[in-house]
Amino acid sequence: MLKAGLVNPFVESAYKFLQDEVHMEVTRGQLRLETSKATQGEINVALGVAGDAEGIVIYSMSEKVAKAIASALLDDVVPVFNELAESSIAEMGNIITGQAAAGLEEHGYVCKLTPPTIIAGKGVMISTVDIQRLVIPIELPVGLMEISVALRYYNRK
Amino acid sequence: MLVVDDAMFMRSKASKLLSQEGYEVVEASNGAEAVEAYKAEKPDLVLMDITMPVMDGIEAVKNIKAYDSEAKVVMVTALGQRSMVLEAIRAGAKDFVVKPFQADKLLEAVKRLCPNA
């Protein structure tokens, strides 16, 4: 059973980023565990985690939501999801996961992250192999963003 | 100033801020490019991300410090873990700014290390 202390860093850092940097009201939906490979969103940001916690964190959203977030971050309208918009969404994943990693460290789990990767396309299949994904739905005024946390936790320091 | 980040968005944000303050800015998108750019440009200060492809920021700081022991590097990173701060300081970084950075915090760090630039 995953402890709340290991989920909260992701929820808290996502809330903080979306409220402070994207200036959107956020509501958390019902957490769920998934084993399916397909993601719900057209735009996915994936970051690998290694160390005392190992696995992957995926931020999944529709292109509409990605464009709205990118517009807020770039302080400009994003009509097309171009390279700069992609970079801003990737950096969102990097910052939220980086701050969550700081929270995990407080619980004794020291980990490092890989650079973010963007995977675009409807119904993309991303397998986390034998690690279940804990899905945290974040409801935004422009639509839904889901954070999938598929981590295996090792020795606590 | 040398701004090093694999995210075009962050390079663009930091470069815009520094240019508006009158600093001349050079960009690099990974640690290996940063080491080459440092040798070519000899910037007054380096703003360095940590998690990057090809060569990460910690390795790049070690390389830059080996080339120039007086090099001034500020880590600008999403990784706020204490262990990461210590690793960066041990590698030779002079300061640490956590992303998303506030403009005044970043400029404060720049001015503290380069009061005459």
Residues A36-63, buried b or exposed e (16+ Cβ, 10 A)? eeebbbbbbbbbbbebbbbbbbbbbbbb
- CA distances to A1, A73, A79, B42 from B97, rounded to whole Å, are 35, 19, 32, 22
Chain A environment of B9 (Cβ under 8 Å):
73-74, 84, 87-88, 90-91
Dig out the tokens for B69 from the structure: 């022991």
pLDDT digits (tens, 9 = 90+) for A1-57: 566 678 889 999 999 999 999 999 999 899 999 887 777 789 999 999 999 999 999
The pLDDT value recorded for residue A2 is: 60
The pLDDT value recorded for residue B85 is: 80
ipTM rounded to 2 decimals? 0.81
Q: What is the pLDDT along chain B (117 residues), one digit of tens a residue?
A: 999 999 999 999 999 999 999 999 999 999 999 999 999 999 999 999 998 999 999 999 999 999 999 999 999 988 777 787 888 899 999 998 989 888 999 999 999 999 887
The pLDDT value recorded for residue B84 is: 79
pLDDT digits (tens, 9 = 90+) for A126-153: 888 888 889 999 999 999 999 999 998 8
Which residue has 């422009």 as its token pair?
Answer: A142
Dig out the tokens for A151 from the structure: 């981590």
Structural domains in chain B, CATH included, are 2-104 (3.40.50.2300)
Distance CA B17, CA B85 (A): 24
Map out the domains of chain A as residue ranges. 4-152
The pLDDT value recorded for residue A4 is: 66
Residues A127-144, buried b or exposed e (16+ Cβ, 10 A)? ebeeebbbbbbbebebee
| Closest Cα in chain A, distance from residue B88 (Å) | 13
Instruction: Please name the member of B8, B52, B78 whose beta carbon is closest to the beta carbon of A87.
Output: B8
The pLDDT value recorded for residue A81 is: 93
Distance CA A115, CA A93 (A): 10
Cite the DSSP H helix spans in A3-82: 4-20, 63-74
The pLDDT value recorded for residue A118 is: 95
pLDDT digits (tens, 9 = 90+) for A49-95: 999 999 999 999 999 999 999 999 999 999 999 999 999 999 999 99
Q: Could you tell me which CATH number the domain at A4-152 has?
A: 3.40.1550.10
The pLDDT value recorded for residue B22 is: 95
Chain A environment of B51 (Cβ under 8 Å):
94, 98, 112-115
Measured between CA atoms, the residue of chain B closest to residue A111 is B81
Q: What are B's interface residues with A at a Cβ cutoff of 8 A?
A: 6-10, 12, 51-53, 77-83, 98-100
The pLDDT value recorded for residue B10 is: 93
Q: Please indicate whether, in this complex, the C-beta atoms of B79 and A101 are within 8 angstroms of each other.
A: yes
A50 touches chain B (CB under 8 A): no
Distance CA A87, CA A82 (A): 9
